[in-house]
């Protein structure tokens, strides 16, 4: 093979390999989504369990569970820049200390719209009495990295992302590394329209097929170019 044909051949082969790798990556993403959907289905087909050990919550993602304890009402957080039904507002995050445990669970009590008044918060006070609540266990998704200097230490604290390292430093409260999405049946909550998980498995499979087809077409084009050059 002449040098004139070597460079294009290497480029075509490398591109085909790249396209195939993208296809397999999309198939891996589809498998991950299947695993998550199976976990969600398994999590919500049984009795709503009462969790008394804080460490058990780490293995209960997607599960609906019951918790007993009390809110720490004087150290709440305002999770800003949220959109619900195309309305901007914030989530109210309140620490909930489990009875007999050393760590608190951060409870998302729901959404409140700003209604054009960013200088005035709604009344988010909640009694610190012992109670039982029902939540869905979720893991926080960090939108941005926060530094301690980015937020105030005056409660309720306004935050742009859920970073437990920062939150613990500001509040001096130890947290279990999960979020509890307060169920609509539990009192002292606000607007609770929790988005259901949508895995989009079909989308990933469709993308994989597209990448594989592009690799196939490019391979056919490369073969035809090679055959034409041989005839010459």
Tell me if residue 116 falls in helix, strand or coil. coil
Domain match, 88 and 170 both: yes
**Cα of 48 vs its chain's centroid, Å:** 22
Q: Which pLDDT score is estimated for 149?
A: 45
Whether 98 and 124 share a structural domain: yes
Asked if residue 45 is part of any domain, the answer here is no
- Judge if 108 and 162 occupy the same domain: yes
Cis peptide before 156 (omega within 30 of 0): yes
Q: Say yes or no: 204 and 178 in one domain.
A: no
Domain hosting residue 81, numbered range? 63-182
What pLDDT does residue 79 have?
A: 94
pLDDT at 200: 74
Same domain, 97 and 123: yes
Spatial neighbors of 57 by CB under 8 A, at least 6 apart, are: 51, 65, 105, 137, 176, 178
pLDDT value at residue 4: 63
Do strands 157-159 and 77-84 pair parallel, antiparallel, or not at all (unpaired)? parallel
Write out the H or E segment, with its range, that includes residue 95.
Answer: strand 87-98
Q: Are residues 175 and 125 in the same domain?
A: yes
d(CA 137, CA 135): 6
| 139 and 74 housed in the same domain | yes
pLDDT for 157 equals 92
- Tell me the per-residue pLDDT of 162-181, one tens digit each, with 9 for 90 and over: 999 889 999 989 999 999 99
Whether 219 and 132 map to the same domain: the answer is no
Q: Does some domain include residue 57? A: no
Q: Is residue 54 part of a domain?
A: no
The reply to whether 194 falls in a domain is no
Listed as ranges, residues in the chain with pLDDT below 50 are: 146-149
Buried b (16+ CB within 10 A) or exposed e, 130-159: ebebbbbbbebeeeeebeeeebeeeebbbb
């Amino acid at each position: 093979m002449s040098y004139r044909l070597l460079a294009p051949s290497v480029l075509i082969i490398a591109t085909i390999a790249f396209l195939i790798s993208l296809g397999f990556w999309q198939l891996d993403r589809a498998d991950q989504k299947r695993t998550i959907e199976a976990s969600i289905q398994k999590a919500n087909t049984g009795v709503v369990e009462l969790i008394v050990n804080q460490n058990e919550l780490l293995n209960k993602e997607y599960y609906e569970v019951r918790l007993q304890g009390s809110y720490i009402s004087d150290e709440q957080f305002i999770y800003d820049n949220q959109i619900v039904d195309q309305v901007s507002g914030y989530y109210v995050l309140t620490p909930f200390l489990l009875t007999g445990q050393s760590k608190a669970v951060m409870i998302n009590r729901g959404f409140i719209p700003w209604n054009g008044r960013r200088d005035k918060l709604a009344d988010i006070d909640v009694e610190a009495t012992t109670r039982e609540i029902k939540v869905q266990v979720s893991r926080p998704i960090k939108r941005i990295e926060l530094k301690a200097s980015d937020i105030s230490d005056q409660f309720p604290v306004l935050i742009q992302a859920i970073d437990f390292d920062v939150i613990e430093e500001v509040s001096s409260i130890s947290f279990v590394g999960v979020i509890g999405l307060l169920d609509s049946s539990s009192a002292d909550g606000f607007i609770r329209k929790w988005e259901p998980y949508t895995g989009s498995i079909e989308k990933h499979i469709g993308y994989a097929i597209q990448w594989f087809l592009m690799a196939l077409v490019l391979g056919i084009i490369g073969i035809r170019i090679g055959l034409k050059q041989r005839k010459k």
